Amino acid sequence: MRARLDDWPPENRLRAVARLLRQDAPEQLAAVLAEELARFAGAAELPFRQALYSWAGELWTKLSEGGTLPPFDAVEGRETPDMTSMIETRFNEWKRELVGRVRAEGMIEGRAAGMVEGRAAGVERERTLLCRQAERKFGAETAAELARRLVGVADPDALALVGDRIIDCDTGTGLLEAVDEPR
């Protein structure tokens, strides 16, 4: 028995995948994707819609870059189990590759964001500590003025220099003048 794609029931998931494979332009792919996403509506179909959408994104990238997909018509006309097996295998391979890549990218982005947040928090703590030290040595007015001058200063070396100047200066005015001096 030979089965054509048009003979498959519309709710067949492999039919949806095969329809995406047949498209040879990004615009056609987008139109077919919209139809298939609508066909598989409902909360129970969410994982399939997500996989279909992600996979279509991979196809979109390939088509947008001028690449081509292997001609799907070459496998049409084979018996359904062979075609089904081929499509299902390739779909699962792409899904695994995509999930792996997304996880790796997410981990890298998460680490980078954590490092940036950690550095920002560390710099903020250092500025707060410097102002506290200035307040203990020179009073609240000098500390408040120092805090205003340190807003936006994120360079650890510049902040370390302010710490040295708190130790070295004898007056609050002297500290503020020293902070304003170029290195």
d(CA 27, CA 109): 31
Q: For the purposes of burial, counting CB atoms within 10 Å of the CB of 136, is it exposed (0-12), middle (13-18) or buried (19 or more)?
A: exposed
pLDDT digits 0-9 by tens, 129-139: 999 999 999 99
Q: State yes or no: pLDDT of 22 exceeds 60.
A: yes
66 Rama class: left (phi>0) / alpha (psi -120 to 50) / beta: left
Q: Which two tokens stand for residue 39?
A: 């066909």
Q: Which is more confident, 140 or 74?
A: 140
Write down the domain spans for the chain: 5-78, 121-180
- Give me the chain's average pLDDT, please: 81
pLDDT digits 0-9 by tens, 73-120: 444 444 444 555 666 777 778 777 877 777 778 788 888 888 878 888
What sign does the CA torsion over 163, 166, 169, 175 have?
A: positive
Rounded to two decimals, what is the model's pTM? 0.41
Average pLDDT over residues 3-8: 71
The pLDDT assigned to 136 comes to: 95
